[in-house]
Amino acid sequence: MDAKDIYARLERQFPGKVSDFKGDVKEPYLTVDALSIVDVCRFLRDDANLQFEVLSDLTALDWPKEEKLQVVYHLFSYSQNHQIVLKVDLPRDNPKVATVEGVWKVANWLEREVYDLFGVIFEGHSDLRRIMLPEDWVGYPLRKDYVEQEEYDGISTQRAPLVEKLLR
């Protein structure tokens, strides 16, 4: 099924919950209402014509100008050989969305990474801890306005440029 049909199918199933379909780009995507992401994902996985059995990737994009964080889901179906990209817009100051761990187990780790690096809270997640950075790290590095803390545990994170060091 091509992306347009998938969108039409979703629109019929979830009226008003899916919007902003972009079909003329490299990877067609659509925007899903944050509150219905789990239902949409479960439907995409279980429907006999869609069969998205795989969550290829889950990541986020930071758009400070639009004041939003976008969680991006790349879905793929091995049996049907088609794909779709879902996007969920969240407010930047309080990004919260339900976890899709119950639909694809891989979401557990992928969501932990997004939580760690973007600070998106996945509600209902079984083990929402930082994964790459230490537990007591401050800030979310992949946000556009991230400023690194000056020291961590007494260790400086700054380094004088090599040239300056040599000249000294």
Partner 1 sequence: MNETAPAQTGLYTEEMTISVGPQHPSTHGVLRFVVKTDGEVIGEAIPDVGYLHRSIEKIGEKVTWHGYVPYTDRADYLAAMFANQGFCLAAEKLSGIEVTRRGEFCRVIACELNRIASHLISVGTFGQDIGAMTPFVHALRERETINNLMEEICGARLTYNYIRIGGVGYDILPETRIRIAEFLDHFEPIVDEFNRLLSGNKIFIERLAGVAVISKEDALSYNLVGPNLRGSGIKWDIRRDIPYSIYPELDFEVPIGSAQVGKLGDSYDRYWVRIIEMHESVKILRQCLKMMPKGPAIAKVPRKFKPGAGECYARVEAPRGDMGFYVVADGSEYPYRVRIRTGSYTAMSIIDKLSKGIMIADLIALIGSLDVDAPEIDR
Residues that bind partner 1 (CB under 8 A): 25-27, 53-57, 59, 61-62, 72, 74, 78, 81, 85, 104-106, 108-110, 113, 117, 130-134, 141-142
Find the shortest distance in angstroms from Cβ 99 to partner 1.
14
Of the pair 84, 98, the CB lying nearest partner 1 is at 84
Strand partners of residue 66: none
Nearest Cα to Cα of residue 40 among 111, 113, 104, 109: 104
As a 3-state breakdown, the chain gives helix, strand, coil percent values, each rounded to 5, of 25, 30, 45
Find the shortest distance in angstroms from Cβ 149 to partner 1.
14
Of the pair 36, 108, the CB lying nearest partner 1 is at 108
Of the pair 35, 63, the CB lying nearest partner 1 is at 63
Element holding 84 (H helix, E strand): strand 82-91
Paired tokens of 55: 């969550």
Of the pair 16, 27, the CB lying nearest partner 1 is at 27
Query: What are the CA-CA distances from residue 25 to residues 22, 85, 89, 123 (Å)?
Result: 7, 11, 19, 31
Find the shortest distance in angstroms from Cβ 100 to partner 1.
11
Q: N- to C-terminal Cα distance for the chain?
A: 65
Find the shortest distance in angstroms from Cβ 81 to partner 1.
7
